A and B are shown apart, each in its own frame.
Chain A
Amino acid sequence: MQGKVKFIQGNEVCVEAALYAGLAFFAGYPITPSTEIAEAMSARLPQIGGRFLQMEDEIASICAIIGASLTGRKAMTATSGPGFSLMQEALGYAVMTEIPCVIVDVQRGGPSTGLPTHVGQGDVNQARYGTHGDHAIVALTASNHQDMFAITVEAFNIAETFRTPVILLFDEVTGHMREKVVIPEKGEIALVERLRTSVESGVDYHPYLPREDGRLPMSDFGGVHRYNVTGLYHDMWGFPSDDPKIVYGLIRHLMDKIQNYAGNMTFFRQDHIEDAHTVLVSYGAAARSARHLVENRRKRGERLGLLELQTLWPFPGDVVRKVCKNADYIVVVELNAGQVIREVKLAVDRPERVYLANRIDGQLISPTDIQNILRLLHGKGV
């Protein structure tokens, strides 16, 4: 990979990647441990003619980016657990109105104010179920800066392709850690630009009429086509409707457009899976410790493998089932009381093989922590 080498914080990597992806609008509210993203955006965006807004709260921040995105700019906000909670209603609005945007949640320990300066991964379920009503959602994560860069760019690509909000679930460790990253050359990672309608000015444009492939070409709000946008169930013109056929058609479309293409947004890494007798399933900061342990124990002949998930939602159940097929032990390593483990158990045959290795005290789980749990599982004692 050619490009500029940097040694920066994860939050800064996220900024670099968003700008690489074509971000032109950011609105946010200070919150630990995500604040560095807003700080960097406030400096960088005006330099490229973009817009930065510091809003009065996280609700206003997500609303502002949804508005800006509708007018044609790639838009993003960044927050942490408490702010992400505040954003949930508007997140549902973005789902319903099919307005692309990226929401970064640099997770910390919760619930409530919890542990602002410590790591946690407690928002996995919030990302999936936080907003009310049935819906599909996309949430991605990464454990190192290079992946964080790629996955952030991918978040924008998915948002634009599927007209959907995409959540980036990073965490305090990856967000604040400094590590080498190579900023790719322009063009090295493909970018998806917004699909704009070819309908000419003055011709009836249907903002909510999907093409055969499920995609909906957009028209920059405030431009040549006047249309209505609403969080109510709506017809192809965007006008409110409670006609059961229209309601059913829309809710199905909103879920199918993500679920039918789940394969296109499934990202993961697998190490030493072929002959693994124990598979660790992990993601984000926790996956760093899991990887360290796997590499170490492999040298000593232990048949340990790692499945690192980068897509958390839609949950890649098929991948998990396949990778874990021959394992005697499946150990989910995460920094919460067990959120991804639930999905893993649902995905695999013989869920009694699935165990949890976690920490919920604001500390990053260490390779030793995991190793101790494995020793117990394997009947070796600590």
Chain B
Amino acid sequence: MSVKDYIRERFFPHMWCPGCGHGVVLNAMIRAIESLGMSKNEIVMVSGIGCSARISGYVDFHSMHTIHGRALAFATGIKMSRPELNVIVPMGDGDALAIGGNHFLHAARRNIEMTAIVMNNRIYGMTGGQFSPLSGYAAAASTAPYGNIDHGFDIAKLSEAAGATFVARTTTYHVHELSRLIRDAILHEGFSVLEVLTQCPTYFGRYNRAGDAPEMMETYKNRTVAVGSEKKNQDPDLIERGVFVKKELPEYCREYEKVIEKNQQKQT
């Protein structure tokens, strides 16, 4: 199948701004799914609210566009009810880690098999550029006109501490790596988190004089390094890309299946 076969053409043109990184994520995700040879019928995409959440409407999977921050909670109900489905949850940084932070922690802790893709553009785009928990100290935003005094999260460390059994990070510049990591995240049997640094030239770029989309992607190229790279020692501000955590732990749905197996009463 070609990429076109995975999208809902009647939903296009999409609503993302010119230069937005989210389309790159959509493309890489479809390529990953295509390479896995998965049927469209076995994939459920559950999203919350925000620019990133709109991705679920553009794909020809079972798609559920829910409420702000709660996508993982809806997804948990779906996955527990039908564990055979592949559940992908695309979220923005605010959706996943501000309003949805608690659900994020607990989904990771349960190690329920699903793929959380955090599209981190460090800003609330849909509402016009307010700072998010990932904007970082001193960033400019429409609600931080004097510079942000909130400190940011490290999504990878947070996910690992919460119990996610697959944690990775990449950027929209590294498209092949992005596609490969989405693939690995989907294949992982447990809760997987993939953080994707994705540019918002319209708000984050403009407020922070980070340049247009190509310039922001250049920065991803120049300011990130592969996990374990020597360069990180010399320049600690570099952001690491790659897989941080990959381990096997009991998966939630399978554990519950065991509970059922052990306690199910024989029908009389």
B64 & A51 in contact (Cβ 8 Å cutoff)? no
How far is the CB of B229 from the nearest CB of chain A, in Å?
A: 36
| Residues in A neighbouring B247, C-beta threshold 8 A | none
CA of A63 to CA of B103, assembled, Å: 11
Within 8 A of A (CB), among B98-134: 102-103, 105-106
Q: Is A191 part of the binding interface, using a Cβ–Cβ cutoff of 8 Å?
A: no
A47 & B65 in contact (Cβ 8 Å cutoff)? no
How far is the CB of B51 from the nearest CB of chain A, in Å?
A: 14
Q: Is A84 part of the binding interface, using a Cβ–Cβ cutoff of 8 Å?
A: no
| Residues in B neighbouring A69, C-beta threshold 8 A | 77
B77 & A53 in contact (Cβ 8 Å cutoff)? yes
Q: Is A228 part of the binding interface, using a Cβ–Cβ cutoff of 8 Å?
A: yes
| Residues in B neighbouring A90, C-beta threshold 8 A | 67, 70
9-residue interface stretch from B144-152, B185-193, B259-267: B259-267
> Which residue on A lies nearest to B60, using beta carbons?
A226
How far is the CB of A347 from the nearest CB of chain B, in Å?
A: 34
9-residue interface stretch from B25-33, B79-87, B170-178, B212-220: B79-87
How far is the CB of A75 from the nearest CB of chain B, in Å?
A: 8
CA of A238 to CA of B42, assembled, Å: 19
A64 & B73 in contact (Cβ 8 Å cutoff)? yes
How far is the CB of B118 from the nearest CB of chain A, in Å?
A: 18
Chain B contact residues, majority secondary structure:
helix
Within 8 A of B (CB), among A78-115: 89-90, 93
9-residue interface stretch from A229-237, A258-266, A370-378: A229-237
Interface size on B, residues (CB 8 A): 38
A226 & B40 in contact (Cβ 8 Å cutoff)? yes
Given A68-B81, A73-B81: A60 and B65 within 8 A (CB)?
no
Q: Which of B57, B75, B82 contacts A239 (CB 8 A)?
A: B57
A60 & B103 in contact (Cβ 8 Å cutoff)? yes
| Residues in B neighbouring A222, C-beta threshold 8 A | 44, 62, 78, 82, 85
| Residues in B neighbouring A228, C-beta threshold 8 A | 8, 56-57, 63-65
Given A25-B80, A68-B80, A68-B81: A49 and B260 within 8 A (CB)?
yes
How far is the CB of A211 from the nearest CB of chain B, in Å?
A: 23
| Residues in A neighbouring B60, C-beta threshold 8 A | 226
B74 & A64 in contact (Cβ 8 Å cutoff)? yes
| Residues in B neighbouring A53, C-beta threshold 8 A | 76-77, 80
How far is the CB of A202 from the nearest CB of chain B, in Å?
A: 10
CA of A231 to CA of B70, assembled, Å: 12
Most buried by B among A51, A232, A240: A51
| Residues in B neighbouring A48, C-beta threshold 8 A | 264-265
| Residues in A neighbouring B10, C-beta threshold 8 A | 239
Q: Which of B11, B61, B77 contacts A66 (CB 8 A)?
A: B77
Q: Is B46 part of the binding interface, using a Cβ–Cβ cutoff of 8 Å?
A: yes
Q: Is B234 part of the binding interface, using a Cβ–Cβ cutoff of 8 Å?
A: no
CA of A229 to CA of B259, assembled, Å: 31
Q: Is B137 part of the binding interface, using a Cβ–Cβ cutoff of 8 Å?
A: no
Within 8 A of A (CB), among B6-58: 8, 10-11, 40-41, 44, 46, 56-57
Given A46-B259, A239-B57: A59 and B70 within 8 A (CB)?
yes
How far is the CB of B59 from the nearest CB of chain A, in Å?
A: 9
Given A55-B106, A93-B67: A221 and B77 within 8 A (CB)?
no
Given A25-B77, A60-B70, A63-B74: A229 and B64 within 8 A (CB)?
yes
Q: Is B202 part of the binding interface, using a Cβ–Cβ cutoff of 8 Å?
A: no
Q: Is B224 part of the binding interface, using a Cβ–Cβ cutoff of 8 Å?
A: no
| Residues in A neighbouring B70, C-beta threshold 8 A | 59-60, 63, 90
A66 & B260 in contact (Cβ 8 Å cutoff)? no
How far is the CB of B195 from the nearest CB of chain A, in Å?
A: 21
B65 & A224 in contact (Cβ 8 Å cutoff)? no
Within 8 A of B (CB), among A211-269: 221-224, 226-232, 239-240
How far is the CB of A141 from the nearest CB of chain B, in Å?
A: 26
How far is the CB of A69 from the nearest CB of chain B, in Å?
A: 8
A226 & B102 in contact (Cβ 8 Å cutoff)? no
Given A48-B264, A224-B41, A232-B65: A68 and B78 within 8 A (CB)?
yes
CA of A371 to CA of B92, assembled, Å: 60
B76 & A51 in contact (Cβ 8 Å cutoff)? no
B11 & A221 in contact (Cβ 8 Å cutoff)? no
How far is the CB of B78 from the nearest CB of chain A, in Å?
A: 4
CA of A27 to CA of B256, assembled, Å: 14
Q: Is B66 part of the binding interface, using a Cβ–Cβ cutoff of 8 Å?
A: yes
| Residues in B neighbouring A93, C-beta threshold 8 A | 66-67
Q: Is A65 part of the binding interface, using a Cβ–Cβ cutoff of 8 Å?
A: yes
B102 & A57 in contact (Cβ 8 Å cutoff)? yes
| Residues in B neighbouring A226, C-beta threshold 8 A | 40-41, 60-63
A67 & B67 in contact (Cβ 8 Å cutoff)? no
Most buried by A among B40, B76, B81, B256: B81
B77 & A231 in contact (Cβ 8 Å cutoff)? no
| Residues in A neighbouring B65, C-beta threshold 8 A | 228-232, 240
B263 & A47 in contact (Cβ 8 Å cutoff)? yes
CA of A239 to CA of B64, assembled, Å: 11
| Residues in B neighbouring A51, C-beta threshold 8 A | 80-81, 256
B81 & A71 in contact (Cβ 8 Å cutoff)? yes
CA of A51 to CA of B255, assembled, Å: 12
Q: Offer 27 A-B interface pairs, CB within 8 angstroms, sorted by A.
A: A25-B77, A46-B259, A46-B260, A49-B260, A49-B264, A60-B73, A61-B73, A63-B67, A63-B73, A63-B74, A64-B73, A64-B76, A67-B73, A67-B76, A71-B77, A73-B81, A221-B78, A223-B41, A226-B40, A226-B61, A226-B63, A228-B64, A228-B65, A229-B63, A231-B66, A231-B67, A232-B65
B residues apposed to A, CB below 8 Å: 8, 10-11, 40-41, 44, 46, 56-57, 60-67, 70, 73-78, 80-82, 85, 102-103, 105-106, 256, 259-260, 263-265
Query: 4 shortest A-B CB distances, which residue pairs?
Result: A67-B77, A64-B77, A63-B73, A60-B73
